Structure 1
Amino acid sequence: MKIFKIFMVAAIFTIATLSQAQDIKPTDVKKVMEKVADWQIKHFHDLYSGHTKPHHPLNWTNGALYVGLVKWAAMADDDKYYKWLKEIGEKYEWKLHRRKYHADDHTVGQLYVELYRKYNDEKMIEPTKEQFNFIMLHPPQTSLQWKSPYHQSRWNWCDALFMSPPVWAKLYNITGEQKYLDFMMDEFKATTDFLFDKEESLYYRDEGYIGKLENNTKMFWSRGNGWVFAGLTNIMNELNPQSKEYKYFLKIYKKMANKLLEIQTPDGHWSMSLLGQVYYPTPETSGSSFYIYGLAWGINKGLLNKETYGLAVQKGWNAMVDYVSKEGMLGYVQPIGAAPGKAWADKTEVYGTGAFLSAGSEVYKLYGGE
């Protein structure tokens, strides 16, 4: 009887594993990406996260959408997505958002550089270069401590590492000017020294969470670390793999990848509080999509072993696809926030779509898409 029970448990585990590890076809990846992208463009001005009016087109929320959408535009069968994105840049004269130093308002610069790469039109990046040149000539002298005066003039919250540093890295790559890379490295290192927990290989959201426990567990916000992990990926894409700068980011990336493999939930997503799965069982798709993006990219680049990390990507992607409605809305995207919280099947946000499209762009390659 005892042997029979052991056999049944093993059989159930095997069936569950097989159901989560369904084969992924690149044509299916492309099909669901198109459906999600089309739904999001159609519902671009929808209201979520308690907002009473749509996000400004240059707001960080939409900036994160564009980071993923421009990857989809490069895969799509026609240029209509590029055209839609280009019209946004033209409408706002290729300017970044309102705040000169704030990382959130730099996010849209990632789109501008990618459009410059396609159209080779210098005006698409001139305002960004001008603003960043000003910042380098007048660097912020503020503290990284949370709520100190003008504190968000520097990257003192982990989300910022997705928003601004990739823009600096892209400018360095396309101009060849070392000054952009040097500034970015100094600030990124300062933030990492401040917020990275060496014991857990994860980032605190900001100073306010350092040493803070919830249910006797350190609080590491999933989307916050997703911002960082995707940001590392987007930065390394711009650097020479033999450079010391690339190796600095790679070291952090591999530490995080190893930790993410360890804490992925059996359902394929990552918990909103990364070390507190039991307390946050609800799926969350924005942070999880960023992890899938970064892990799939690492396998594609030969940085991560496919045998070790491939199943995590497969399980994760299949879970994300399950949370896409038949119309194309990605559900279970946590609303705007700074800590673990709630998510719902019928609620979304534009940055979640951006993360999903980024993930799809690498999953597509991983499974043989060209």
Structure 2
Amino acid sequence: MTPTRKYNSSLLIRLHLVCIAAVSLLFVACTAQKAGSNKAMNQKEDVLQVLRQTNAYFMKKWPDTKEPIYTTRWRPSNIWTRAVYYEGLMALYAIDPKIGYYRYADDWANQHQWNMRNGVETRNADDQACGQIYLDLYQIDKQPIKIKAIKENIDGIIASGKVDDWTWIDAIQMAMPIFAKFGSMYNDPKYYDYMHRMYLYSRNEEGGGLYNTEDKLWWRDKDFVPPYQEPNGEDCYWSRGNGWVVAALVRVLNLLPQDHPNRAFYEQDFKDMMHALLKVQRADGFWNVSLHDPTNFTGPETSGTALFVYGMAWGINQGILDQTEFTEPMHRAWQGMVQDAVHPSGFLGFLQGTGKEPKDGQPVRFSSVPDFEDYGLGCFLLAGAEYYKYLSKN
């Protein structure tokens, strides 16, 4: 005979409620995870959409890749401003591999016979900047003609023994990554060694040294080394100029072997700069053109801001920058640019024109058109592509 079991009805009710609660919590957790995943995906798609939008504006405006650029005079389209744009386009191509992007870059290089504005004898970093794109395109389709001129140029620089070409900090971004690319491609330390000598000359010797080891920021060139001062008595640290150095360090560190003896040196400069920049970010996410004098031509500026976002996103992605410290400022800067600088047409506002200090290219307004539109978009594409990678990882 089966024994009779007595059940406590209140206990059963409590057990039933516990089970319902557990299932509910599991449902909420799964829903939240799915919502978080969808939100991240939406953010990624939003980033990609604005990159496509801004780039489409430019490609539509400049369908002929060889067309010279006219501002105060005619300039060939393989100068540094257009080269920086193509750096950004190749970064976009890496996350959104549309054949039209590749063809637009390859056609531009072909139209200029894979050469520089002043030929293989030039020592001007502004001329050499196009070489970064030629090398990117060569690594996709290894035809020797693509790197013949730029390799001859860089090998000639090394053979000369002169290391004092980079007398303004923009030059570090225009030329230094080319040495790193050749060092990586050929596994040849001479390229790494020579670029380090040139970097050290700019950092420590030109004008007494263009890097201020106290403030962890760079003077644009010797004209701005103290006693030069901004109106508020501070040193003049130009936003985009410091952005060029950030971008150069990112692009070099991306290529330099992990065990290279100079890697820690560049990483320290990079980290020190990024921490210094955190202190002077605006509440709206942007940086002013004058980093230590917000009263001198104050207001948002897109190109410097974009280069700093590029650095922050890359540093977080590589584990070099502390995610808890840099993520919010990075988000704020990206959102500031998208909300306040991007026009519905894809045109970028708040972009300072060419120059070397806060007063150049003014006024910088939402609707003002800079003398060159290309480099600002290049900076924005670099930032957005790296930010997209961050969202993909997180």
TM-score category by the smaller chain? 0.7 to 0.9
1:28 alignment partner AA: D
The whole-number CA distance in structure 2 between the counterparts of 1:360 and 1:273 is 23
1:367 alignment partner AA: L
Task: Pick one of 232, 242, 246 that aligns with 2:249.
Answer: 232
State the aligned residue count.
337
**What SS does the corresponding residue of 1:240 show, helix, strand or coil?**
coil
Aligned-pair distance for 1:56?
1.8
Q: Which residue number corresponds to residue 5 of structure 2?
A: none
Aligned-pair distance for 1:183?
1.1
Structure 2 residue runs of 5 or longer lacking an equivalent are 1-38
1:337 alignment partner AA: G
Q: Which has the larger radius of gyration?
A: 2
**What SS does the corresponding residue of 1:199 show, helix, strand or coil?**
coil
1:353 alignment partner AA: L
The whole-number CA distance in structure 2 between the counterparts of 1:196 and 1:50 is 34
Q: Which residue number corresponds to residue 279 of structure 1?
A: 296
Q: Which residue number corresponds to residue 168 of structure 1?
A: 179
Task: Pick one of 344, 350, 355 that aligns with 1:337.
Answer: 355
Deviations 1:223-264 (A, max 9, x none): 000011111101111101222221111010000010011111
**What does residue range 1-370 of structure 1 map to in structure 2 within 5 Å?**
25-44=43-62, 51-53=71-73, 55-98=75-118, 100-140=122-162, 154-193=165-204, 194-211=209-226, 212-215=228-231, 216-322=233-339, 323-341=341-359, 342=362, 343-346=364-367, 347-348=369-370, 349-368=373-392
Deviations 1:256-301 (A, max 9, x none): 0100111111110111000112333221100110000011000001
* TM-score normalised to structure 1 length: 0.87
Deviations 1:61-84 (A, max 9, x none): 111111111111222252111001
Aligned-pair distance for 1:125?
1.1
Aligned-pair distance for 1:55?
4.1
1:88 alignment partner AA: W
Aligned-pair distance for 1:368?
1.7
Identity %: 30
Aligned-pair distance for 1:50?
8.5
Aligned-pair distance for 1:138?
2.0
Root-mean-square deviation (Å) = 2.1
Query: Could you tell me whether the CA contact under 8 Å between 1:202 and 1:220 is conserved in 2?
Result: yes
1:354 alignment partner AA: G
Query: Could you tell me whether the CA contact under 8 Å between 1:265 and 1:277 is conserved in 2?
Result: no
Query: Could you tell me whether the CA contact under 8 Å between 2:56 and 2:346 is conserved in 1?
Result: yes
Deviations 1:147-205 (A, max 9, x none): xxxxxxx1010101100000111111111122111111100011111100011100000
Aligned-pair distance for 1:105?
0.6
Aligned-pair distance for 1:122?
2.4
Query: Could you tell me whether the CA contact under 8 Å between 2:296 and 2:358 is conserved in 1?
Result: no
The whole-number CA distance in structure 1 between the counterparts of 2:63 and 2:240 is 22
The whole-number CA distance in structure 2 between the counterparts of 1:64 and 1:52 is 20
The whole-number CA distance in structure 2 between the counterparts of 1:57 and 1:42 is 16
**What SS does the corresponding residue of 2:316 show, helix, strand or coil?**
helix
Query: Could you tell me whether the CA contact under 8 Å between 2:230 and 2:296 is conserved in 1?
Result: no
Larger relative contact order (CA 8 Å, sep ≥ 6): 1
Query: Could you tell me whether the CA contact under 8 Å between 1:220 and 1:275 is conserved in 2?
Result: yes
The whole-number CA distance in structure 1 between the counterparts of 2:102 and 2:274 is 32
Q: CA 1:246/1:209 → structure 2, altered by over 3 Å: closer, same or farther?
A: same
Structure 1 residue runs of 5 or longer lacking an equivalent are 1-21, 145-153
* TM-score normalised to structure 2 length: 0.82
